[in-house]
Structure 1
């Protein structure tokens, strides 16, 4: 069994610099909670998006498990558009309504999803049988989960917490179970018993 712990990053202090935007004070407090939850999950591998806020959300585990974080570019957040959009809510709704649509300079759902799934496939191939924590972002995380099960959709994305943790259990490439474990560390079955394969 391979267990992936997708960790949506904690709250960050807004800046136009997507790559280096740091966690806010609240985000740092929540990152400590993430560490406390995952330190009991026998994590063997740490992987993160290159974005600072994703790295900071899981870096508390490095000293506990004694390993460094491996950066995986393809777990970075989906690029919605090249330039800021006036109405983010309607802009993000539009790309989820039409998976092939993209704003100027941005990624469509199809393009971003394919990128994320390629990264997922590499992780499953390289780290079979391991417990892997992955620091990532809400949209790309849900797009990957959506590839595995269509119920993980725009509505699901909108109800995510920041941070949030979802444990995906695979038997070889077959998704067996999805559990949310962010809520104070209590595992919550999420309509499990999947039969999806990569």
Structure 2
């Protein structure tokens, strides 16, 4: 089977990409608007893209009506965000924050989530998240530049909070204890519990 992406409608291109490039980690992003209203939203077009400087990338799509999501709007206004990884224990809560709520309505309150203050940035952290990265905006890139269908948020990591309960030792995270979920196609997700080892050749 071959797919000519130059002939596919955007929705079909998304469906094929999202169902084949899997599993994808989920960025659970907390931001505040300039007037202090909180937003919490999950994004599966997400990845670490640099270790020097330590930088994460989150892709926020443009809505069908041309409007942008509150996450992007807030990051533009404040330059701060907290990116959480999603454990299996918090999968339902993450899904609850994916609901389309009116602008200014807090997903944190909607999902009845507890938070704790961050140390380097203003947006709070979700209590119980296994990993949370406090980040400062590095750059926002519209893509494609001439007619953006998405905006790439490059977030420089200032401080990471790693739950002691997911550590194997002082230097290593235990993937089984981390117990993250990944995004597949459609409504499907996966666990990161089934792992194996391979030694890279010299």
TM-score, normalized by the shorter chain, greater than 0.5: no
TM-score (norm 1): 0.24
TM-score (norm 2): 0.24
Q: Which has the larger radius of gyration?
A: 2
Which structure shows the higher helix fraction? 1
Greater RCO (CA < 8 Å, at least 6 residues apart): 1
